[in-house]
Amino acid sequence: MAIYDTAYFLTQVKLYGSIPSGRYSDPEILTIASDAMIAHVVPVIISLKEEFYVQYEDQAITANVNAYPIPYRAMGLALREIKIVKDSTILDVPRMSPEEIVSSALGTPNKFYLEGQDVVLYPTPDTTANTLRLSYFRSPSKPVETTECAIITAINTGSGLVTAAPPTTWTTSSVLDFVSRRNGHKCLGVDIIPTAVSTTSVTFTPANLPATLAIGDYIALAGECPYMQVPDFCFDLIVRVTVQEILESMGDAPGFALNEKHIDLLKSNIVSLLTNRVLGAMKTSSISLI
């Protein structure tokens, strides 16, 4: 079984692209791949409306504060949905137009509008008892060489010590992500600062270790990843669209045309497989308004 990390990715791109030795460095190929993934593959996956990349972030609602930042990793700073959590009840919050604002009085928020990079609750909250839940599509992390990350070989959940050999540039000021080795390669934890870094281990506050973190997973700088963060079934498509960008830059018209046929077929297969992720269940709709 193939390990779909960036080392394998680079091998495949060089194979299918017949790239002359030394024409592109590995970091350059991965930069091209990152751009190609965002431009050609992720939009296809998102368009299927099957909740790929969906995450949520909770922010405590503060009295007299109406503006709350959209998570910085949200694709296009766009949101999937907005809810308010009140005790054990999760309530949908409808969107309004700023033109509908008619009062500056405090109250219980029942609508929201967007202002720049913020979600603005209306009316302005008069209590701190509730939580704002922002659901969004998290941007895939930038693919980097596996040597820029640290593979986990042991985990001590009591002390927070994770055995892994980090790059020499990492310090206790580095902001790190935990990345799953499994299909999809999602971030298990993001924006975590270590308490200690050595040549053989990275130590974290134990509470910051994800419950699902496992041997074979990776630690990476925040926003970076030793994988393509797509379902493994989409891996070949990213290889091909990366090859396509390289062939175009090299002026290889025959190779470009041949490779394009593979891209069309792979896109069709992905749409066919991923259009409905749960074949035996229809979607239902149940919305509770404040």
Taking only the tens place, the pLDDT of each residue in 45-79 is 999 999 999 999 999 999 999 999 999 999 999 99
Instruction: Confirm if 10 and 147 have CB atoms less than 8 A apart.
Output: no
Rounded distance between C-alpha atoms, residue 101 and residue 62, angstroms: 20
Rounded-to-10 torsion of CA 29, 34, 36, 42: 150
What share of the chain has pLDDT > 70, as a percent? Answer: 96
Domains of the chain: which residue ranges? 1-49+229-274, 54-138
pLDDT by residue (tens digit) across 107-126? 999 999 999 999 999 999 99
Instruction: Give me the pLDDT at residue 7, please.
Output: 97
Structure tokens at 229: 């963060």
Residue 289: DSSP 8-state: B
Instruction: Confirm if 126 and 108 have CB atoms less than 8 A apart.
Output: yes
Strand (E) or helix (H) holding 112: strand 111-115
Instruction: Give me the pLDDT at residue 30, please.
Output: 98
Residue 203: DSSP 8-state: E
Rounded-to-10 torsion of CA 138, 144, 145, 150: -50
The mean pLDDT value of the chain amounts to 94
Grade residue 43 by pLDDT with cuts at 50, 70 and 90.
very high
Rounded distance between C-alpha atoms, residue 9 and residue 37, angstroms: 13
One-character DSSP codes across 53-97: TEEEEEEE--TT--EEEPPTTEEEEEEEEEEEEETTEEEE--B--
